[in-house]
Chain A
Amino acid sequence: MRLLLDLRQITDHVERQRLAVQADTHGIWGVVVTGPPGAETVEASAIATATDHITIAVDIDGEAAHPTTIAEEVAVLDQLSQRRTMVILRAGNETRNTVTALLKGLPKEGVILSPPPAQAAVAVYGPEDIPRIEISQGPEQLAELIDQHRDANEQFLVVATNRSVKELARHAIGRAASADFPQMVANMADQIDPIN
């Protein structure tokens, strides 16, 4: 199960970028970003430019624009981010199907995306496809929730937290990937390298 840090509730763009860079540094798989309709990929592009490895999941209002426009913006974002884009699309089935097809490089009603996305296909999810948790307490709460979603065979989990990104990385990435996570190691690491 891969973890994405939720940046959508962070109102200050400097803080969003700081957290994204931290998440990138500490190996969190992705971040979730958004913006007002039309600004979603603008925000995602800024985050992509400031980071190197992290996947940028851009949450888009799919009813505010023509599906071709949305697909074009995502394709350009995928080129800018060098294949690090995925989409959370808030839209009805018809729009979602059109955007998904275009982002797979398939023609849809005579339209083919140009440029194409950098990836073979940009993954498009609905908000209901990816669960989200909020963490306000320490590693114990985090462990319980991670175990629950991992054991439910979730592909991704969005984590909203006001706690340290490094703590999330230390205690959650490995746990999300394995039922055999050695919590003792993470606890001892906290003593050797305290997280402030």
Chain B
Amino acid sequence: MDIGIGLWCLQSTATNPRSFGRAYQELTEDAQLAEQHGIHSLWLSEHHGYYDGYCPALMPAASAALTATETLQVGTGVLLLPLHEPQRVANAANHLNQQFPERFHLGVGMGYRPIEFEMKDRHMSQRLKLMTSGLDTLSTKTETPTWIGISSEQAAERAGRRGLGLFISGAFSKEVVNKLIAAHRAAWEKSEPNDTSPPPVGLLRNLWIVDTEDEQRQALNWVRSSYLVYAGLGWGADNTGVDFVSEIETSMNEVEKSATVGSAEQIAEDLSGYDVDLVVCRIGYDQPPRSALTDVIERIGSELAPLAREF
């Protein structure tokens, strides 16, 4: 099991206002720190037109992180494909693959905010059609490893039928995660694939390495408050127990239940229960002080990743 970190959204939130210049500088610093400590990958995330400057252009951001490092892998978790021109996405991915062979991963998703579609003169009702045609274009124009961000079993099945990897949200319970993986695998097997190995599954998990109960409570509060962003963005997912629009408190409780905050050994024990290829440690919260973030990056690399490699 590989261990990555995410999600780098490069925001300046109301919870933690900061300079964008600093945020973008820290992207390359954090990428270098992750690489230095043997972490597999760093993952970025996208939204458009949000007050906090949530990064709307992941490809140049990925390019900066890749240029600043030598072996670290960088992924988009996820680029909102219906909001982009697919040929341009393919060109950007190919350019990154050429410059940084086998280091770039293209995670894509459909998006869920109507206003983001309107900004691009599109409509939410078109998103499935745009996603489908976008994936059709990518399948012929790029060989970049592609992962699909999903929030429903139907979406997992669609990804499986295409032989594409899964990128599962950190907000879902273990039960929901296993259902999504099962749906993906069944659809893949039913598609009579040429490959003998199933497409990879990546899983975001909220976690933090701590040594005391006080630190544990603090980290869980950071996890909870990090989802205030998604309450503001209006994220809700079908049949998953997560709906930050209309059930924020219940959803925050679900997120806290699925978070793993403890020693590296405890976290590794929990992660060993997932049949996935990659766990992306969701640590890119807006509340922790800078020193806490850099400390946990070091500890994930030096304590957790070696344990996870044994799975």
Is the pair B53, A42 in contact by a Cβ cutoff of 8 Å? no
Given A76-B55, A114-B53, answer yes or no on A65-B95 (Cβ-Cβ < 8 Å). no
Task: State whether B92 touches A38 (Cβ < 8 A).
Answer: yes
At the interface, yes or no: B210 with Cβ under 8 Å from chain A? Answer: no
Please, which residues of chain A bring their CB within 8 A of the CB of B25? 82
- Which B residues touch A37, using CB under 8 A? 85, 87-88, 91
Is the CB–CB distance between B120 and A42 below 8 Å? Answer: no
Which of the residues A49, A69, A73 comes within 8 Å of B68, measured between beta carbons? A49
Q: How far is the CB of A168 from chain B (nearest CB, A)?
A: 24
Let me know if B67 and A45 touch, CB within 8 A: yes
B95 touches A42 (CB 8 A): yes
Q: Cβ of A82: which chain B residues have Cβ within 8 Å of it?
A: 21, 24-25
Q: Is B121 an interface residue (CB 8 A)?
A: yes
Inter-chain contact A77/B60, CB cutoff 8 Å? yes
Which chain A residues border B260 with CB–CB below 8 Å? none
Name the one of A39, A69, A76 contacting B61, with C-beta atoms under 8 angstroms. Answer: A76
Whether B95 lies near A41 (C-beta < 8 A) is no
Indicate if the CB atoms of B20 and A45 lie closer than 8 Å.
Answer: no
CB <8 Å contact, B59 and A38: yes
Q: A13-B99, A49-B63 are in contact. Are A115 and B53 (CB under 8 A)?
A: yes
User: Dominant SS at the A interface?
Assistant: helix
A-B Cβ contacts below 8 A, count: 127
Q: Using A45-B64, A72-B57 as known contacts, say yes or no to A64 and B24 having CB atoms under 8 A apart.
A: no
B90 within 8 A of A: yes
Q: Are A69 and B84 in contact (CB under 8 A)?
A: yes
CB distance from B142 to the nearest CB of A (A): 11
Closest A residue by C-beta to B52: A114
Among residues of B, the one whose C-beta sits closest to the C-beta of A72 is B56
> A36 — which chain B residues lie within 8 A by C-beta?
91, 94-95
**A49-B67, A68-B119, A68-B120 given; A42·B60 CB < 8 A:** yes
Known: A39-B91, A65-B88. A79 touches B28 (CB 8 A): no
Listed A/B pairs (12) with beta-carbon separation below 8 Å = A39-B59, A39-B94, A41-B59, A42-B60, A66-B85, A69-B84, A69-B88, A76-B56, A79-B20, A80-B60, A82-B25, A115-B20
